[in-house]
Amino acid sequence: MPKTTLYSASSQPPRPYRVIISGGGTGGHIFPAVAIANELRRRQPDAEILFVGAHGRMEMTRVPEAGYQIVGLDIAGLQRRLTPQNLLFPMKVFRSVRKAGKLLEEFKPDAVVGVGGYASAPVLLAATSRNIPSLIQEQNSYAGLVNKLLSRRVDRICVAYDGMEKFFPTDKLVLTGNPVRTEITSGSRAEALQFFGLSPEKKTLLVIGGSLGARTLNEATAAALPRLREAGIQLLWQTGKLYYPQAAGQIQPFAADHLQALEFVQRMDLAYAAADVVISRAGALSVSELCLTGKPSILVPSPNVAEDHQTKNAMALVSKKAALLVTDAEAPVQLYDEALRLLSNPDQQLELSRNLSPLAFPHATETIVDELLALVARV
């Protein structure tokens, strides 16, 4: 089907700009999307921004909490085994692309941004078929399937790692880094210790398993609580919603020793400021935040992700001696041996921190919005 042009230099719509941001599914997609929207609105306060997500996914609540309107599509990913849902997949894609097309006709965006996730594909397919300027923001060091398939249709691809030309057309690539929350480096250690009720005399370990938590990290941390108390280490342990009731019981005998379990950390700036060492999954957003904050870390990549992309994210740091790696399978036995060694080795902490600094992209969000506005200006 030939492409039809909705916009031309002679019919460029008046300001304010209208932009659709599509995708979601995890915090690793949603937080960058909101960061892009916030920066666009900072520059263009009257910009009209519409998010498009997938029904039943976390963006349908998190995006409105951030102050933006969102529309949901009835779309989900393919299961890795034969299921009735897979048989319905082609019909869901067709319906979602058709609904996305109607949204585009009604909203008339100047540009569309895809951040990955189920809803990104139908919106970008509908946008590129209408020659609406389109941009992909790929967070990971191993590109997602949807972004690879759409890469030849979109106008610009913003990436966070070197070497992404093996997935995408070189002439469309811009190395920008990942958008992170602008306040992530704003906390002070003194404020953080007071906020969490921690001791300035003890070293602090921060454990974060992503927005949904991580069972391996939670189980390893629960088992290590007596060792942490004995070593005089204080703990901020973000468990995720599902594991928190169990963690609350496990942590209770250790509360007087500055060991804390938290369902979700709202003030991540203060959590990072308090931390001497971080244990984390290797999602794209977490890795980008660690680079920006310069915190020495032990990464435990999740094995339950497409193409094992978290291991590839982690190796981008480990290969530069900017982080340590413990596999998910090794974590129950080795994770806290490694954590206690690192906590007792300030020279190694300093080396990891120094090697993180060149990998940070503190102006990633601004650069992505620069690229987005440049696409609009070209039309």
Q: Report the binding-site residues.
A: 26-28, 140, 181, 211, 284-289, 310
- The DSSP output letter for 205 is E
Residues that constitute the known binding site for UDP-N-acetyl-alpha-D-glucosamine:
26-28, 140, 181, 211, 284-289, 310
- Collapse the DSSP code of 21 into the 3-class scheme (helix H, G, I; strand E, B; otherwise coil) and give the result: strand
Q: Please tell me the distance from the alpha carbon of residue 372 to that of residue 170, in angstroms, as a whole number.
A: 18
Identify the helix (H) or strand (E) that includes residue 120.
Answer: helix 120-128
Number of H helices, E strands in the chain: 14, 13
Instruction: For tokens 């998010």, name the residue.
Output: 51
Helix, strand, coil in percent for the chain, rounding step 5: 50, 15, 35
Q: What is the phi-psi region of residue 258: left when phi exceeds 0, alpha when psi lies from -120 to 50, beta otherwise?
A: left
Q: What are the residues whose beta carbons fall under 8 Å from the beta carbon of 256, sequence distance 6 or more?
A: none
Query: Is the peptide bond preceding residue 16 cis, with omega within 30 degrees of 0?
Result: yes
Return the residue matching tokens 């070497």: 163
Category of 312 on φ-ψ map: left (φ > 0), alpha (ψ -120 to 50) or beta: alpha
Which residues touch 249 (CB under 8 Å, ≥6 apart)?
none
Q: Specify whether the CB–CB gap between 149 and 78 falls below 8 A.
A: no
Report the distance separating Cα 207 and Cα 162, nearest Å.
28
Q: Are 97 and 76 in contact (CB under 8 A)?
A: no
- Give the orientation angle of helix 284-293 with respect to helix 309-318, to 10 degrees: 20
